[in-house]
C-alpha cells in the first residue's frame, strides 16, 4: 500500500510503520448512493475520501490516512457500502505494540495534560 499524501504525523502508529498496517475503508461502488456523508464524516486532517463527480461515488484516495481501528464512516453509511477488515485484525495489531511504547506514550500524554489526572476521594 502506498500513499504519497501521508502526513508525517500519521506515518507511525504506536511505534509501527503505518504502511505495514492494512486498515482502511473499501467502498462497494454498487452500493454507494453518492450521498457524500463519508467524505464529510472523515476528519479534515485525514481526508481519506475523495469523490468522483462523474460517477457520483465516493473514492478511497488516501487509505493510510485512516485511523487504525476507526470505522465511523462505515457505521454511518446508511447503504452499508463501506467495509473494513474484521475488528480482530485491530486487536492483533494492538497486541504487537510493545508495552514500553504504550507506557512511554501514556506518561507523555498525562504529563502534557495534567487536567486528565483524576484524584479519587478528593470530591
Contact set with ligand SF4 (CB under 6 A): 25, 27, 32-38, 41-42, 46, 48, 58, 66-67, 70-73, 77, 79, 81-82
C-beta of 28: minimal distance to ligand SF4 in Å? 8
Closer residue to ligand SF4 in complex, CB, 20/120: 20
Shorter beta-carbon distance to ligand SF4: residue 31 or 104: 31
**CA–CA distance, 97 with 106 (Å, rounded to integer):** 13
- Tell me the sheet residues that pair with 17: 12
**Residue 97 corresponds to which cell in the numbers above?**
505494540
Nearer to ligand SF4, 46 or 97 (CB): 46
115: helix, coil or strand? Answer: helix
Q: How far apart are CA 74 and CA 64, in angstroms?
A: 16
Amino acid at each position: 500500500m502506498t500513499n504519497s499524501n501521508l502526513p508525517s504525523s500519521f506515518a507511525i502508529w504506536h511505534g509501527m510503520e503505518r504502511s505495514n498496517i492494512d486498515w482502511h475503508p473499501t467502498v462497494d461502488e454498487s452500493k454507494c448512493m453518492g450521498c457524500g456523508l463519508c467524505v464529510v464524516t472523515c476528519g479534515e486532517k485525514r481526508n481519506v475520501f475523495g469523490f468522483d463527480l462523474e460517477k457520483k461515488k465516493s473514492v478511497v484516495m488516501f487509505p493510510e490516512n485512516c485511523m487504525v481501528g476507526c470505522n465511523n464512516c462505515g457505521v454511518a453509511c446508511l447503504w452499508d457500502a463501506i467495509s473494513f477488515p474484521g475488528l480482530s485484525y485491530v486487536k492483533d495489531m494492538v497486541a504487537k505494540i510493545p508495552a514500553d511504547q504504550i507506557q512511554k506514550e501514556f506518561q507523555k500524554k498525562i504529563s502534557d495534560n495534567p487536567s486528565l489526572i483524576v484524584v479519587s476521594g478528593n470530591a
